[in-house]
Amino acid sequence: MKKNPRPIPAILASAFALFMSGQAAAAQEAPASSEPLLAVKGDKLVNGKGEVVRLRGFGLGGMLHMENFIDGYPGNEEAFREVLLKSMGRKKYDLFFENLYRNYFTEEDARYIASLGLNLVRIPINYRLFEDDMNPRVIKQDGFTHLDRVIKLCAEQRIYTIIDLHALPGYQNQHWHSDNPIHKALLWKHKDFQDRTVMLWEAIARRYRDDPWVAGYDLINEPADPTGQVVVPFFQRLKDAVRKVDPAHILFIEGNTYAREFDMFDPTWENVVYTNHDYAAPGFPSSGPYPGETRGRHYDSKAVEADFLKKSRFMLDNGLHIWVGEFGPLYTGDAQKDEMRYQLLKDQLAIYDKHGASWCIWLYRDVGLHALVYQPETTAWMRRIKPMLEKKQRLGADSWGGVETGIQEVMAPIDAMLAREFPDYDPYPNGAQRQARLLVRHILIAEALLDEYGKAFEGLSEDDVVELAESFNLKKANRRTRLEAILSGRER
């Protein structure tokens, strides 16, 4: 006996509902706008009216991609999240991060950046927000929630954003800032990691392809392919995949070995900006006076410019726009030393002005080392982590800004042994001494510190968790007023 066919009106209603849901999804992925997209024209960036635009702004590290020195924990982000989950439990862990994201960047932050006359926020993201390693190739749509929100808040203030994939599946470089718990960059050895990266960028490009306030996509932060043979073919593959989905947005491509090497790239790629990172040697905590000697070399504004020109040679020789994707000194709390850092920063900005370079200083927010806004010691977050933060500093567990005054008796014999027994040992990317510090300070000691950090977050109430997250709100922050004046142009 035949079943009665489904009524035609029901079929039409179902089809109409499916069509409308698809339209809604498309609208979410590709917001409509009459504003034209930014584009590359020769050695300039131009908007849809043909007006030259120089991008100048901040990197928003520590939010959708966390880093140890920014947020005040040891090791890599995944490991820190694991100890927080164990200590807090799932409900409070989720409550903490939802409130952290909502406080880390607000409408007030966007208004503040716009008030400085700046027009860019580079948004680092971690692939783990969008894809689970135990459920690969399935994009988590809720990962876009706060990326959408930051982009929208910035657009409302006429601030461009650049989406920066800062941590890739398999790790694109050897250090903590790719959320790497080891010291091998496995992205370059495993096609599966590369396939997943392509898939993620296709999803990102599909979502933002019509958004005019997304200036473009920074495809891989600080790639470090030890062979130098895989990096360009993989960038080519990424470029082609993104272009099929989104043919119009600018692609920002960083050189190999931490945005330093460009000669292997093709200068004829269209609507591409090659980007270097210009951390000046006199800007680190262990550096000498500025002007003065650091690492056996005299540094003044001419030497700083010479280093910038070396990093930018590929762009200059080929008539390409320069975007300095990261730069900026670290601050010590010593007024005399920090005054030298401000002078260094002013010299760098004058150099970028001279050469028409766009720039993005690293960093907008942290716990006191590097950024424009930072937490005072009175916040709930800083009070809770202070004892571990002091121990972490004493043991030199952070690469960025860390010193090793408390473990010289450990590191000195290792350096001597390596020099004696392995005089030709020169591991990529930074040689024997830096490799020893990576393995001992930034991995071994950092891992040992994680358990202590975890214990500090046990037994919290939901109110405690929310208060910790609210520590990252701009209303709780201190501001470096000199840095503010320099970046806004009020002091140069």
Catalytic residue set: 222, 326
Upstream peptide bond of 429 is cis (omega within 30 degrees of 0): yes
Cα(20)–Cα(44) distance, integer angstroms: 41
Beta strands in 47-149 (DSSP E): 56-59, 120-126
CA distance from start to end of the chain: 88
The secondary structure of 291-360 as a DSSP string is SEEETTEEESHHHHHHHHHHHTHHHHHTT--EEEEE------S-HHHHHHHHHHHHHHHHHHHHTT-EEE
How many H helices and E strands in the chain? 18, 15
Residues 6+ apart with CB under 8 A from 289: 282, 340
Distance of CA 409 to the CA centre of its chain: 34
Vertex 291: Cα angle to 287 and 295 (nearest 5): 35
**Number of Cβ within a 10 Å radius of residue 195:** 14
Vertex 118: Cα angle to 112 and 120 (nearest 5): 100
Identity of the residue numbered 97: F
